[in-house]
Chains A and B, each alone.
Chain A
Amino acid sequence: MPVSDEERGQKSEELLGKLQEKLGDYILESGVSLGDAEVRIRAEGVSDFFRLLKLDSELAFNMFLDVTAVDWMDEREDRFEVVYHMLSLSTHHRLRVKVDLPEQSPRIASVSQLWAGANFLEREVFDMYGIEFEGHPDLRRILMYDEFKGYPLRKDYPVQGKQPRIPLRAPEVENTARHMHRSELVQIGRG
């Protein structure tokens, strides 16, 4: 069935009403933006909010679609905004959740215990924006290499930024290739 913008807006309003009733304590503001339901929540309530969002039988947001961040630099008081996109397969509701984080050591609770799919996505946000996800099982860079300096998607990272050349790993680092009886191959790279 074709869904017009008004219908979508109405559906979003219904969802927001339900959210206010059940999870009102965590919500700072809510609204409909271009037909999509959107809420802004407190940073310290993230893990509880998402647990209830997933486990509540009426809300049942079982799909964690996406998480990313927006860097607002000097435009807002809180520099970073983490944006989650959720989907409920049973009710076909979509929800956008926003959380504000300060510029100094931005930290937020990880939701990878609730959805395994959040693991890689949170790693990407950490890689690109330097936002730390507390309780993440394996928080390391994912698209960039470990020695990369800075966070490329922050607005203060230059578009044509140059990175220092990285040296080969120090020889004292135990090399697992040795266990594969291929030490001569490794020696070539070291010379």
Chain B
Amino acid sequence: MKELLNVDYGIGGVTTHMRPRKEGDDLHSETMILNLGPAHPATHGTVRIVAELSGEKILDADVELGYLHRGFEKMCETVDYNKVMPYADRLNYVSPIINNVGWCLTVEKLLGVEVPKRAQYIRVVMSELSRMCDHLTCLGASAMELGAFTVMLYLMQAREYLWELIEEVTGARLTISYGRVGGLKDDLPEGFGDRMAEAFTGIRRHLDNSDRLLTRNRIFIDRMCDVGALSAEQAADFSLTGPLARASGLDYDVRRDFPYSSYEDFDFEVPLGTKGDNYDRFLVRFQELIESMRICEQAMENLPDGEISLEDPRIVLNPKDEVYSSIDGMINHFEMVIFGVQPPKGDVYIPVEGGNGELGFYTVSDGTGRPYKVHVRAPSFIHMGAVREMLLGETIADVVPTFGMVNMIGGECDR
């Protein structure tokens, strides 16, 4: 690894920590610094890449994060456990349900409870729908940036089918807050399985079309193949997880290796790449979409009957009719609203497979109704650490597909 020139210099009043350096020849004696972002059309998140160029080649790159930092972890320390849910929505806002599920599992682990089987299955279905939204957005946006606008429209239409399903279940499209500690907000509506099957037919059609437009497309392959490649060793070195690591051939998926929320009941493949370049990342995501649909179908087929929430009034709000008609119900309701869930002292780390990789919640409880400390292992943040390595030696045009395939989500990266 080359050493960064750690000097404070400014571009337009903003620190870059980089400056042009002398090159050996007589004619063009200095390299050029190019500033990409923080608001650049090719970066679909607010991030700044300061690239040092020699001609078109990237000699060095400094990745600057933090433009979307909202103090998630600090805010979590000021609210009770259920009120963290809306904040968690805004981590990876493209797949909010996975964040909800991760947070619920963390608190439930601290409490030492497990939600009913039906709730676990619904969590799996909704997580997979979210994952598909995430992958569709990533693939659609990246394809558009490489000129394939039609593909983007197809994939956005496919995502629209999913969002309609999600809206039907949760009442919202983007920031959903569907999870609850000890269960879920609502059960699936009547006839959800049929409408999901219908939506999947549409999605499969759009995926087929996109596949035909992209996978063997000369322009697409030229832009993606052998660009931004990382070996399996490098991927492990940079702590990559999720589609990025699997494209490099790192055989690791939290759903399979550390199953949570009944993932062990489902039969699915974990696609692996061989070269670890952008094209592999594209293929892995594409295959995962198909696997996600398989998981959803299996879950809907074997969906168990029963409750969707625990019945412990110290963890879940009492049903409203009980609150209005009995004194116990009313007391429980007030206790829940005022003091919240109160897990015993302890700390726990729970990983779930997010859209981009292992999403981990590390929480310390001090026995009160508010978390003492919350830390999110955000896959996007960690993946941005490897972007410099991916870009070194590539050309400036390769920033676009590489950054697209890293799929940085600002909310999760900067928290």
A contacts, CB < 8 Å to B:
1-3, 33-34, 36, 62-66, 68, 70-71, 83, 85, 89, 92, 94, 96, 115-121, 124, 128, 137-138, 140-146, 152-153, 157, 159, 168-169, 173-177, 179-180, 185-186, 189-190
Contacts and interface: CB of A to CB of B under 8 A. Distances in A.
Given A70-B373, A120-B381, A175 B10 contact: yes
Contact of A2 (B10, B19, B237, B264): B264
A189 B109 contact: no
Interface residues of B, number: 67
Contacts of B324: none
Contacts of B384: 120
B87 interface: no
Interface stretch (B94-102, B212-220, B344-352): B344-352
B239 A117 contact: yes
A120 B380 CA distance: 11
B382 A120 contact: yes
**Which applies to chain B's interface (DSSP): helix, strand, loop or mixed?**
mixed
A107 B252 CA distance: 33
13 contacts: A36-B348, A36-B349, A63-B239, A66-B362, A68-B362, A70-B373, A89-B251, A115-B237, A116-B1, A117-B386, A152-B71, A176-B20, A180-B34
B74 A89 contact: no
Nearest to B73: A153
Contacts of A34: 109-110, 112, 346, 348
Contact of B349 (A71, A96, A144): A96
A180 B109 CA distance: 55
Contacts of B373: 70-71
A174 B15 contact: no
Interface in B358-403: 358, 360, 362, 364, 372-373, 375, 377, 381-382, 384-386, 389
Query: What are the 10 tightest A-B residue pairs by CB atom distance, in nearest-first order?
Result: A117-B239, A120-B385, A143-B66, A68-B375, A66-B377, A169-B10, A2-B264, A168-B13, A117-B238, A143-B69
Contacts of A176: 9-11, 16, 18-20, 33
A159 B76 CA distance: 11
Contact of B12 (A71, A118, A189): A189
Interface in B245-261: 250-252, 257-259
A168 to B, nearest CB: 4
Given A36-B348, A117-B382, A143-B69, A62 B13 contact: no
Contact of A153 (B74, B238, B251, B377): B74
Contacts of B74: 152-153, 157, 159
B16 to A, nearest CB: 6
Contacts of A89: 236, 250-252
Contact of B65 (A92, A142, A179): A142
A34 B349 CA distance: 10
A180 B66 contact: no
Residue of B12, B250, B252 with most partner-chain A CB within 10 A: B12
Contacts of A115: 237-239
B89 interface: no
A40 to B, nearest CB: 12
Contacts of A185: 12
A177 B69 contact: no
Nearest to B358: A65
B9 A173 contact: yes
Nearest to B372: A70
B65 A143 contact: yes
Nearest to A120: B385
Given A33-B346, A34-B109, A65-B377, A177 B11 contact: yes
Contacts of A153: 73-74
A158 B222 CA distance: 52
Given A117-B386, A152-B74, 7 more contacts: A1-B259, A34-B112, A96-B349, A119-B385, A142-B65, A143-B66, A175-B12
Given A85-B349, A117-B239, A186 B12 contact: yes
A121 B34 CA distance: 26
Contacts of B389: 116
B29 to A, nearest CB: 11
A101 to B, nearest CB: 15
B12 A145 contact: no
A133 B4 CA distance: 17
